[in-house]
Amino acid sequence: MTRKILWFTFLLICSFGKSQVKEGFVLPENPKIGLSLSGGGAKGFAHIGVLKVIDSLGIKIDYISGTSMGAIIGGLYAAGYKADEIEKFVMKTDFYTLIANEKTRQETPFFYKTTDKYLLTLPIKNGKVNVLPKAISTGQKNIYLLEELFKNVSHITDFSELPIPFLCIATNLESGKMEIFEEGDLVSAIMASSAFPSLMDPVQINDSLYIDGAMTLNLPSEPLKNKGIDIVIGVDLSQPLTPKEQLNSVLAIFNQIIDFGIKKENKRQYEFTDITIKPDLSGLSATSYSDKEKILQSGYNETLKYTEVLSELPKRESSLRSSVHSVFSNVYKIDQLILENNNIFDQNYIQGKMNLKLPSLQTYGSINKMIGKLYATNNYYTINYDIIQQNNENHLKLILSEVDTRFFLKAGLHYDEVFKTGLLLNATIKRLLFRNSIISLDLIVGDKPRYYFNYFIDNGYIPGFGVYSSGMSFDFADGNNENISWNWVRNDVFIQSVWRDKFAVGGGFNHEYFKTNLHSTGNFINPYVFIKSDTRDDRNFPSRGFFMDINGKYLDFFNDNPEKKAFQTKALLNFNFPLSQSITYQLNFFGGITANKEISPYYKFRAGGIFEQELGNFTSFPGMKLAEISNDNMMSVSQTAQFRFQKNFFVAGNFNMLTVFDEVRIRDMLHIHYISGGLSLGYRSPLGPVKINYSMMINKKNSGIFNIMLGHWF
């Protein structure tokens, strides 16, 4: 036996000339093997390569410790996943999307879909402007992913009871001290361990905030020795300090400062590490997520150098680990909803926004979608969850981190051919009078001053109440080349609910005041009903999704003259069909019908111009000047082929048809009066969309029209 020990020690030293094997190392009888996985962001994918070699050799791992990405990879392995399974998950996951943590537009409530027009938002809390966020991401999408991956062990609160005992390291943000997590909620512990400053918000567990464990212990070998582990295999992802020539950014300097402490502590951890595997990751960084295959291979290649050594370590009873079956699609009967830390919003609001009926059958996929809708209200920093079994019932537990900021200042810029230059200033207040309410006031200063006021009590699927007011003015020339100065004030009271999770339905009364230089002043009160939907992935350059706005109103309801009353309906539909990753076919339809000819000129439908702003009975039609055509009834169809290139650039061609008719008859509705075509160039800029349009009539003689739009419409 002594000979074997000496031979093994000699082999270790000779095989790795560098200090990769602890000096004086001796292989004991029946050793316990521990795996210490360091942090490193994207460089942590090298751990998978290490695990692939360990799996191929059938080595029995008795304990795993991890920090940051090492906690994620190590946690998965401890939960029962094989290295190949972890590799598949990593390769198919877009980590840039996870970090960005962007809320999809499809998840966004209806109110916010009409207000995605601001370039700058400044939260105000306790009289102070909070300009800088805590981090780039709150980590909400990480929660969805980790809850899915770790559901097979979600019932385990003592990490030593996992298929492989496990611990992870985090740093207490208040005290700066290291915290070893060995029990509790596994997902929360791993989230805390990997919450890198500036990239991820600190994670609250009980009454403490935690950040990345790398700040205090990046290579967690000592805790394994304290657990009685005989041989610790450590995977150190640290690289040499950055030379001064490359310290040319705030981020580079920030990372260098962090690396000072990491390197110093790593050297101390080498005392507790028997075999140190250090992959060559030169030129790679913590954010090199696009190089994950290269990083993984580096870990694999480096570990292969240790094959002879590692093959001497104890083997599992079975050479292959059993696969972990995903529970993502499993169906669970949810009987109760448990809320933790819900100090602002009550259960009715939360269930309404989630569209959660109790009891109901749910999967983890459907739960993620429901929580995504709740998260998209912007009332929560993070929402963690778990399915808990109690008394033969499944309880969906939500751990909420609420946004308590109520006041916001916002701003935007825009230019178009209708309103010219405008600077948008906004004040928004949440929870004024009612906890589910939001009040928003837009003031636009510029060539055409205007305002928009919204107050809405959002009850989700329970009908909510709203008040709306707007005032604007603009100029146009009608079909007779008469210059019209159009002044319009609108005031609404309405109720609104959500139907089938996609449609906003409601009704109310509006008062409209009109004044022009050609017509007498008009005051009208109109009851109306509406149905709306907006599932587009982008308001300005949609590649998929559907938009619908259909309403019907009874014009001048309180007029004593029945001949002056009329029923009018209007429909605007937009369909977006992706033909490929870069090409989208768009189909647009507009229709307006009036059931009485004796209507005020203010309620005639008017077509012409290119705009994307809600302007009552005005509708866009390329190739014409603004409001060039007017009639009581009209329909238009537009087809557009949109091509995206270099991610944020777009070119589109459109073909448009318009018909006007006096009588609602099929033959009149199908007779095409106007045909136009156009070409547009677009750019999704940091300051909002930029569009340059050229359009002209095809069946009418007129010169082409150039049109420029800068920024979001408001």
pLDDT of residue 416: 93
Distance CA 145, CA 395 (A): 20
Tokens found for residue 455 = 């107050």
Considering the entire predicted model, what is its pTM?
0.77
Q: What is the residue whose two structure tokens read 């962090």?
A: 258
pLDDT of residue 663: 85
Distance CA 497, CA 36 (A): 53
For residue 25, name the pLDDT band (cuts at 50, 70, 90): low
Query: Which range, of 64-73, 94-103, 316-325, 541-550, averages the lowest pLDDT?
Result: 316-325
The answer to whether 609 and 591 are in contact (CB under 8 A) is no
> What confidence tens digit (pLDDT) does each residue in 563-578 have?
777 899 999 999 999 9
pLDDT of residue 353: 84
Segment 1-18 mean pLDDT: 43
> What confidence tens digit (pLDDT) does each residue in 409-451 have?
999 999 998 999 999 999 999 988 888 899 999 999 999 999 9
Listed ranges 81-95, 103-117, 574-588; the one with the highest mean pLDDT? 574-588
Q: CB-based contacts of 292: which residues, under 8 Å, 6+ apart?
A: 42, 45, 90, 91, 95
> Residue-wise over 92-120: b if at least 16 C-beta within 10 A, else e?
eeebeebbebebebbbbbbbbbbbebbee
Segment 135-157 mean pLDDT: 84
pLDDT of residue 364: 82
Write a three-state SS string for 28-57: CCCCCEEEEECCCHHHHHHHHHHHHHHHHH
Per-chain mean pLDDT for the chain: 87
Measured over the CA atoms of residue 334, residue 335, residue 339 and residue 345, the dihedral's sign is positive
Segment 44-55 mean pLDDT: 95
For residue 7, name the pLDDT band (cuts at 50, 70, 90): very low
> Residue-wise over 263-274: b if at least 16 C-beta within 10 A, else e?
eebbeebbebbb
pLDDT of residue 115: 63
Cα–Cα–Cα angle for 513, 519, 522, rounded to 5 degrees: 25
Distance CA 589, CA 587 (A): 7
The answer to whether 587 and 639 are in contact (CB under 8 A) is yes
For residue 272, name the pLDDT band (cuts at 50, 70, 90): very high
CA 508 vs CA 211, 491, 546, 567, 645: distances in Å? 50, 11, 24, 15, 44
pLDDT of residue 264: 72
